[in-house]
Structure 1
Amino acid sequence: MQRRDFTKNLMASAGLATLSAPLAMASETKTSANAPFKLKYAPHFGMFANSAGKDEIDQLKFMHEMGFRALEDNGMMGKSPELQTKIGETMAKLDMTMGVFVVGFDNWPLSTSLTSGDKGWRDKFLASCKGAVETAKRCNAKWMTVVPGNYDRRIPMGIQTSNVIESLRRGAEILEPHGLTMVLEPLSDTPDLFLRNSDQTFMICKAVNSPACKILFDMWHMQRNEGRMTQNMDWCWEEIAYFQIGDEPGRNEPTTGEVNYKNLFKHIAQKGYTGVLGMEHGNAFKGKEGEMKLIEAYRQSDI
């Protein structure tokens, strides 16, 4: 080969390499931006409606495209059986995991419900557990949220606790044969609520003594009610089956408040948790731009 031809070929190769490098970097950036998150964060319907539109199946596909591999939907039991089935089938195709839906059996949670020992409330709860089994089959769910309700101030605390335990045992008898788990959620919405702390919920789960009754550790509620989250997680770990997310104050995505979610996610992962972390919070910023900021906040906080 003549020197002139060799130089020409070398320059062409260098030009091709220079041209291809940005393309490769762009491809790598796109892949990285949409890669699956390390943990199973679960958005809910409506969280990305500005980007994906109002159709729930389109929203599911958008979530998957953005790297999310789970969904939670508190209102799943209120959807038609046809839509529940369609959601379940779509998630199966996308290899996504269904998170919690709520077992609603009264004007939840604004009543005395299970704490009173009233047979009417217990029967409503058990009927809803039976309905939850059918919903779970259609959407491939495993976990469902249960809230016992409010204090009944006419009854001693120990008696209320026993009433709750007995109802939950009966509910567990319905769910356990199907491999389903109700997750009890201590809440911070009002001091009238019966279930407020992780240690209290741990004790109740121990008393129910069933794999169908575990703890939903909502980190927003627990930050407000008790703090010391990694310590309380460790104490209650063997009964925790599900986590939910929300920064405080504001109950929006991580990085918008005072909670160090990067550290919490790392702690949860190091404990060996591979389940779902529900994104039960709002969007701190509006519109499509706000939705992209939310996704970026999870990229920053992911392990």
Structure 2
Amino acid sequence: MERRGFIKRMGVGSAFLSAAGALSFPGFAEEIKRAIPFNMDFAPHFGMFRNHAPGGIVEELKFMADQGFRSLEDNGMLKRSVAEQELIGKTLQDLGMRMGVFVIDGGDNWKVSLATGKQEFLDTFLATCRTSVEVAKRVGAKWMTVVPGYFERNLPLGVQTGNVIEALKRGAEILEPHGLTMVLEPLSDNPDLFLRHADQTYMICKAVDSPACKILYDIYHMQRNEGNLIATMDKTWSEIAYIQIGDNPGRKEPGTGEINFSNVFKWIHEKGFTGVMGMEHGNAGPGKEGELALIEAYRKVDVK
């Protein structure tokens, strides 16, 4: 059997390599220090592999890289210290990984609503965009998640939409010169949220008309809100810059719910998408066994 094919089929978890005694295979150890990288650029988040890498963020990043993951996303990056951000950025660079999204979060970014048109919310959003530029430099990020906040029931929908567009134009003016992109995420968590559908987000991105304002298409949220995933992505594809993953129901790894991720990922791959695909979900199983099962679930649905 050709050895790289054997390694790939085995999933090449670190636990497997240790148990197999990689160093006992002459001329073999260097090749199998890491699993073969995933073809799709799946991005775990911190805490997802805490049982295999209990030593902290550097050890967890090393474990991710060893398993074949090529990117990271970290929603709470803005809340980390400068030293911790710099450490993450350096470690990613050393491991040959790239940074996915972090959240442009001005406190409770659902309640800081750009739909209201209130100056205080706009000021908070723009200040956080400026801070995010500096954070992005430290960690090598290109994309930042933006949620416009709550629906404002005292205003007509068209006025709310106009307020959001104007705020995002101002944000784009800050981010675009640095080659950064805010990705707008329609969500299913709460019916009071303003942004809930892909076509609505598409319209806003077209109106902002900037490479710094695109769509974050979260498969879990969109399955809950509107379904028809492939057809909807096809209609809004020109504005999609980032994708996130989570099966439904349950918001866990692929294979735990109703979504046919093999077909969805095949379609995304055939569209030529080479961006980051964030693993925005929890682990279905506990402990090390659950972590290994999660890795194996992604091996099963990765494009060949």
TM-score clears 0.5: yes
The offset of 1:112, in angstroms, is 5.5
Cα offset, 1:29, TM superposition:
2.9
State the alpha-carbon separation in 2 of the partners of residues 235 and 291 from structure 1.
Answer: 35
Asked if 1:203 is matched to 2:180, the reply is no
Q: Which residue pairs with 2:16 in the alignment? A: none
- Do residues 41 (structure 1) and 42 (structure 2) align? yes
Equivalent in the alignment of 1:259 = 259
The structural deviation recorded for 1:28 is 5.2
- Is 205-214 or 45-54 further displaced after alignment? 45-54
- Aligned with 1:49: secondary structure? coil
Unaligned runs of 5+ in 1: 1-20
Q: Is this contact kept in 2: 1:106–1:113, CA < 8 A?
A: no
Q: Which position in structure 2 is the counterpart of 1:10?
A: none
For residue 93 of structure 1, report the CA deviation from its aligned partner.
1.4
1:112/1:152 contact within 8 Å kept:
no
Given that 1:112 and 1:151 are in contact with CA atoms closer than 8 Å, whether structure 2 keeps it comes out as no
Contact 1:216 1:242 in 2 (8 A): yes
**Equivalence for 1:216:** 216
Q: How far off is 1:173 after superposition?
A: 0.1
Partner of 1:236: 236
Q: Answer yes or no: is 1:177 the counterpart of 2:154.
A: no
Q: TM-score, normalised by structure 1?
A: 0.90
Percent identity, aligned pairs only, is 59
Q: Return the alpha-carbon distance in structure 2 between the equivalents of residues 54 and 259 of structure 1.
A: 34
1: CA distance between counterparts of 2:7 and 2:155? Answer: 59
- 1:70 corresponds to which residue? 71
Q: Give the CA deviation at 1:54.
A: 4.1
- Alpha-carbon separation, structure 1, partners of 2:117 and 2:272: 37
Cα offsets for 1:73-117 (capped at 9, x unmatched)? 0001111111111111111111111000000013121x2610100
Aligned residue identity for 2:117: G
User: What does 1:123-142 correspond to in 2, within 5 Å?
Assistant: 123-142=123-142
Alignment gaps of 5+ in structure 2? 12-34
Contact 2:106 2:112 in 1 (8 A): no
Asked if the contact 1:76/1:101 (under 8 Å) is kept, the reply is yes
RMSD, aligned CA: 1.2
Q: Secondary structure at the match of 2:268?
A: helix
Q: Distance in 2 between matches of 1:161 and 1:99?
A: 27
Matched residue SS, 1:52: coil
Give the match's secondary structure for 2:42: strand
Query: 1:31, CA displacement in angstroms?
Result: 5.5
Give the number of the structure whose residues are more often helix, by fraction.
1
Q: How many residues align?
A: 279
Structure 1: distance between partners of 2:46 and 2:151: 32
Distance in structure 2 (CA, Å) of the matches to 1:125 and 1:84: 21
**Cα deviation 1:241-268 (Å, max 9, x = unaligned):** 0000000000000001000011111000
**Which residue is equivalent to 1:29?**
6
Q: Kindly tell me: are residues 29 and 221 of structure 1, through their superposed partners in 2, closer, same or farther at Cα, counting changes over 3 Å?
A: same
TM-score (normalizing by structure 2):
0.90
Does the Cα contact within 8 Å between 1:36 and 1:69 map onto a contact in 2?
yes
Moved more, 80-89 or 121-130: 80-89
